[in-house]
Amino acid sequence: MENKTVLNVDNIVMQFGGLRAIDGVSFSINEAEIFGLIGPNGAGKTTMFNVITSNYKPTSGCVSLGDITITGLKPNVVVNKGIARTFQNIRLFGSMTVLENVLIGFDRAIHYSFLEAALHVGRFFSAERKAKEEAMKILEYIGIAQHANALATNLSYGNQRKVEIARALATSPSLLLLDEPAAGMNPKETSELAQLIFKMRDDFKLTVLLIEHDMSFVNTLCERVMVLDYGKPLFSGKTQDAINDKTVIAAYLGDIDYA
Ligand SMILES: Nc1ncnc2c1ncn2[C@@H]1O[C@H](COP(=O)(O)OP(=O)(O)OP(=O)(O)O)[C@@H](O)[C@H]1O
């Protein structure tokens, strides 16, 4: 059976003044694939995420999700098309509970009038109740339902990362972008996270693009990777081949631990 391409990144260039943060990068990801985007600090990985989510408009090149061209769409429209992300520096609303943070992900699916919302009646009430039920189901699925009513900032670092994943899942994505999801996690949390990512992929037919410096984590999850260096494509192919590639080792892997 032929692989279905979910994400196609075509010859992206992203210029910031005199700096070319991404310089002619192309890759594509198949449905239900877990694909790694790796490279040294400043290589352009997060910038690539911002281009894919349309937070940055690339200087040239094109991103498509299935048959839809994403480039030029507004970021909220891109979420509606099925792309969700988490952030390298966790971005949760610290003064809100875990449940409320996840409910934010449902906002696009809730339809009610201003009056209904102001009076807490009609479609507002039933939509809110339904969203809460769905959010609780996601928290249970992720394994943090017991923290639903805790303030997000009071959770451990690892659990805060899980709340970000829960919020992303609430938007029903077809493509999930994870920016350094294992950063700050201990080995047990990291291995549980890897299992969760496999499970989400299988249960939701989710396609995953992840940025990660932990090469053992990348090697566990990703069959293929794209390696960037100073914005340029350095290597694209099987993770095992990247680990043994002399140019990749010289530019990147020589400096980091991977067991
Ligand atoms: N909005 C921006 N304006 C100007 N320069 C930027 C902007 N965003 C990123 N850069 C620059 O682009 C380059 C790539 O940054 P980016 O954050 O994408 O790298 P990265 O590979 O994600 O690094 P890290 O592993 O440290 O997160 C860096 O030199 C960075 O300073």
> Which residue of 46, 86, 218 sits with most ligand 1 atoms within 8 Å of its CB, as the best mutation to test the pocket?
46
Q: What ipTM goes with this model? A: 0.96
Residue 43 alpha carbon to ligand 1 centre in Å:
7
Q: Which of 155, 172, 189 is the last residue of a domain?
A: 172
The reply to whether 88 falls in a domain is: no
Q: How far is the CA of 154 from the centre of ligand 1 (A)?
A: 29
The stretch 100-113 carries a mean pLDDT of: 71
Taking CA 112 as the corner, what is the angle to CA 98 and CA 132, rounded to the nearest 5 degrees? Answer: 25
Whole-number Å distance, alpha carbon 44 to ligand 1 midpoint, is 5
Label residue 259 by pLDDT band (50, 70, 90).
very low
- Over range 2-31, report the average pLDDT: 95
Does 231 map to a domain?
A: yes
Nearest CA to ligand 1 atom 31: 42
CB 231 within 8 Å of CB 18:
no
User: What is the separation, in whole angstroms, between the first and last Cα of the chain?
Assistant: 34
Ligand 1 geometric centre to CA of 42 (Å): 5
Specify the residue with its C-alpha closest to ligand 1, atom 24: 41
pLDDT tens, 194-216?
A: 999 999 999 999 999 999 999 99
159 with 177, same domain: the answer is no
Residue 42 near ligand 1, beta carbon < 6 Å: yes
CA of 120 to the centre of ligand 1 (A): 44
Domain's final residue, options 172, 203, 231:
172
Which of 52, 57, 54 has the alpha carbon at shortest distance from 26?
52
Which domain covers residue 131, as residue numbers? 93-172
Does 84 score more than 90 pLDDT?
Answer: yes
Up-side HSE of residue 164: CA atoms within 13 Å toward CB?
Answer: 25
- Give yes or no: residues 187 and 149 share one domain: no
Instruction: Indicate if 5 and 126 belong to the same structural domain.
Output: no
Does residue 64 register a pLDDT over 90? yes
User: Is 196 exposed, middle or buried (CB count within 10 Å of its CB: 0-12, 13-18, 19+)?
Assistant: middle
Alpha helices by DSSP H, listed for the chain, are: 45-52, 75-81, 98-104, 114-119, 122-142, 157-169, 187-204, 215-221, 239-244, 246-251
Q: Measuring CA to CA, how many Å separate 109 from each of 53, 127, 171, 200, 256?
A: 19, 9, 8, 21, 42
Report the nearest-CA residue for atom 18 of ligand 1: 44
Name the most confidently modeled range: 83-97, 102-116, 119-133: 83-97
4 with 24, same domain: the answer is: yes
- Shared domain check, 241 and 120: no
Task: Indicate whether 191 belongs to any domain.
Answer: yes
What is the model's pLDDT at position 258?
Answer: 52
> Ligand 1 pocket, 41 CB below 6 A?
yes
The number of domains in the chain is 2
For residue 192, the domain's CATH number is: 3.40.50.300
